[in-house]
A and B are shown apart, each in its own frame.
Chain A
Amino acid sequence: MKKWLNPRSAFGIALIAAALIALPFVAAMGGQAWVRILNFAILYVFLALGLNIVVGFAGLLDLGYIAFYAVGAYVYALLASPHFGLHWPFWVILPIGAMVACFFGVLLGSPTLKLRGDYLAIVTLGFGEIVRIFLNNLNAPINVTNGAQGITLIDPVAIGGFKFSSSTQILGVSLSGPQKYYYLLVVLAILVILINLRLQNSRIGRAWQAIREDEIAAKAIGINTRNIKLLAFAMGASFGGVAGGIFSAMQGFVSPESFSLIESIMILAMVVLGGMGHIPGVILGAVLLSILPEALRYGVGPIQMALFGKMLVDPESLRMLIFGLALVLVMRFKPAGLWPSPERKRELQGDA
């Protein structure tokens, strides 16, 4: 604990805290849209950290992670919308969402315990697609998910009479809906980061790492690889479920479209680009990949107008094009990620 007390760290923490508090006001200068982008960036930090448990810590390549996000989002949507006429409070639904997602995580994990690497990636991808196909089609004969139209009018987060969706005056400062969500998200994110940090250095975290490095050796020294792997899937999935619930409440709308394969890939890319298994790296990856494409969306159009006098290329596809190229280039030149953990970097230089 000594490290925390020295004045330089304390100053650093204070600086970060001040920046985090000020950020939504700075972003609001560019319009509320930017505050929303900020919120989504934090949501992606959640997701990336959750996936990092599975991929980064335990070394289980999961390409269907978005399924758990979807499960969390739909649980929230079904229990807090006019669709079934249920309006449960969010602190009841959020844990339910996490638990249902956790169940799905175990459901995915248990048949795949023997698989590793590419095969696991493909199976998890298939699992994600199965969930999406069901969300898309479970509107007949019993209308559960409302099909491709999705569920609308989802209740926003509210604590007592304090609603997060509308703007209020607090101590003479006017806070918009997105700005309030931002603070809620930051608090949750700090919680998630702390949990992750503690996990990494716990016995469980060590066991994950052991499985990642050499499963057979891990088994030999008495680690129950089956349970430990399931635990990784379950915990990762629970984080996904919580993030999904918040997404649902923030958007007020869910549809299967938000949970396509490309989203899974996007989150995996955040983990890998940032630096697998390294919490600060993963956070960096999530923030970069969620904010840069938005910036491009706003930048690419006007730049094209200025250069050619007309829109030559649809900004959306250009954005994905650049995203794909970034994946390829980072893998080529910085395969350990932009901010790898020191030990991971050492490993990758050797024969991995």
Chain B
Amino acid sequence: MDIFLQQIINGLVQGSIYALVALGYTMVYGIMGLINFAHGEVVMIGTLVTITVTGTLIKAGMPVALAGLAGVSVSVLVCIALGWGLERIAYRPLRGAPRLTPLITAIGMSIVLQNLAMIVWGRNYMTFPAFLPKIDYEFAGANFTAVQIVIVLVSAATMGGLLLLVYRTKLGMAMRATAQNPAVASLMGVNINRVIAAAFIIGSALGAVAGVMVGSYYEIAHYQMGFMLGLKAFTAAVLGGIGNLGGAMAGGILLGLIEALGAGYIGDLTGGFLGSHYQDIFAFIVLIGVLMFRPSGLFGEKTGDRA
């Protein structure tokens, strides 16, 4: 039983991270129908920027908490600039092009960002500075750390903030309107370009936060970490119903739980034939399963022929 609880906790933490990244995918997809393949790379750059800034400031003698805060802020700003730049340079000129065109561009940008990161930060794994005290708690035989609590709380707070923004502000209304029908929204005086830019900016900021979380959770980071994370987050978004904010959050948490429980029990279930190193497979099996039986996702509305 304690393994069960332990895996639930691990799944929740991982799921909170997936959810934040998934929001970036789902917002962009909801508004412009584009899979922003480069989003995972934005998250990765968020992590690496935090490492560099925080690490440098700590070395310069700044208190750890302050350095961490500075690192996170700089990383959010860099990611916002990156997301905005991506939209401006790569995707905006392609609006109205056949669907394959922006998809390939997104893949291209993902490759570009990954290799730029490699040139800047090198091939090696980097250690993430610990800016939270290492405290372990125990609950009914399961262990969890302060970092895990903070991740879940920050993630919940960020998502709450996003929901407020989308459902209580004018910008949010404009975003929802654009997602419904860009042409009509534009006729109603919504500045489509600004809305799309906002979706990229907000998604990237969330991505940066998620990047910091991944970094502090695993304590290492690497220039290739973004792609798989992005894929899984996209899976989470599809699982919840792409374009649906609540769906992305639920899908993220659910995927985290499926992965954690799957990795925990796959050995027992298959009599030791498959082990926990098959963890990465669950996301893809879930993805294929969802798309086969319920392409609109768990919480998505049934849409017509999408694609």
* A residues lining the B interface (CB < 8 Å): 61, 111-112, 114-123, 125-127, 129-130, 133-134, 137, 140-141, 216, 261-262, 265, 268-269, 272, 276, 313-314, 317-318, 320-321, 323-328, 331-332, 335, 348, 352
Residues of A within 8 A of B116 (CB): 321
Shortest Cβ gap from B118 to chain A (Å): 5
Q: State the Cβ distance, B131 to closest chain A Cβ, in Å.
A: 30
Question: Bound complex: CA of A331 vs CA of B35, how far in Å?
Answer: 16
- 1/0 per residue B97-127: CB within 8 Å of A? 1111111110111111011101100010000
Question: Which residue of A111, A133, A141 is within 8 Å of B273 (Cβ)?
Answer: A141
Are A331 and B288 neighbours in the complex by a CB distance under 8 Å?
Answer: no
Residues of B near A335 (CB, < 8 A) are: 94, 97-98, 101
Interface centre among A119, A141, A261, A326 (most CB of B within 10 A): A119
Please report the C-alpha to C-alpha distance between residue A252 and residue B101 in the assembled complex, in whole angstroms. Answer: 37
- Asked whether, in the complex, the Cβ of B115 is within 8 Å of the Cβ of A327, the reply is no
Interface pair A328/B115, CB less than 8 Å apart:
no
Q: Contact at B277–A321, with CB atoms within 8 Å?
A: no
The answer to whether A265 and B295 touch (CB under 8 A), given A141-B273, A348-B98, A352-B98, is no
B186-211 at interface with A (beta carbon < 8 Å) = none
Q: How many A-B residue pairs have CB under 8 A?
A: 136
B-chain residues with CB within 8 Å of residue A348 when the two chains form the complex: 98
Contact A324 B110 (CB under 8 A): yes
The CA of A32 and the CA of B107, in the complex, are separated in Å by 33
| Contact of A118 with B291 in the complex, beta carbons under 8 Å | no
The verdict on B278 contacting chain A, using a C-beta distance below 8 Å, is: yes
Does B307 contact A314, Cβ atoms closer than 8 Å? no
| CB neighbours of B280 from chain A (8 A) | 129, 133
B141 at the interface (CB under 8 A from A): no
Contact flag A111-B100 (CB < 8 Å), given A122-B287, A261-B227: no
Q: Contact at B109–A115, with CB atoms within 8 Å?
A: no
Q: Contact: A324 with B109, CB < 8 Å? A: yes
Nearest-CB distance from A37 to chain B (Å)?
A: 21
Q: In terms of DSSP, what is the predominant structure of the interface of chain B?
A: helix
CB distance A116 to B111 under 8 Å? no
Q: A211 CB to closest chain B CB, in angstroms?
A: 13
Residue ranges of B at the interface with A (Cβ–Cβ < 8 Å): 33, 35, 90, 93-94, 97-105, 107-112, 114-116, 118-119, 123, 227, 231, 234-235, 238, 272-275, 277-278, 280-281, 283-285, 287-288, 291-292, 295, 305-307
What separation, in Å, do the CA atoms of A320 and B223 have in the docked complex? 14
A125 closest partner in B (C-beta) = B231
**A55 and chain B: residue at smallest CB distance:** B100
Q: Could you say which of A111, A122, A321, A331 contacts B115, with CB atoms under 8 Å apart?
A: A321
Known contacts A130-B285, A269-B104, A335-B101; 16 additional CB pairs below 8 A are A112-B291, A118-B99, A118-B306, A122-B234, A122-B238, A126-B283, A127-B284, A127-B288, A321-B111, A324-B108, A327-B107, A328-B112, A331-B101, A331-B102, A332-B90, A352-B98
The answer to whether B119 and A321 touch across the interface, beta carbons within 8 angstroms, is yes
- Once bound together, how far apart are the Cα atoms of A120 and B295, in whole Å? 11
Selected A-B contacts with CB under 8 Å, 13 pairs: A114-B292, A120-B307, A122-B287, A125-B231, A129-B284, A137-B278, A216-B305, A261-B227, A324-B114, A327-B111, A332-B93, A335-B97, A348-B98
Contact of B108 with A328 in the complex, beta carbons under 8 Å: yes
A126 partner residues in chain B, CB cutoff 8 A: 231, 235, 283-285, 287-288
Distance in angstroms from B269 CB to nearest chain A CB is: 15
CA A324 to CA B238, docked complex, whole Å: 26
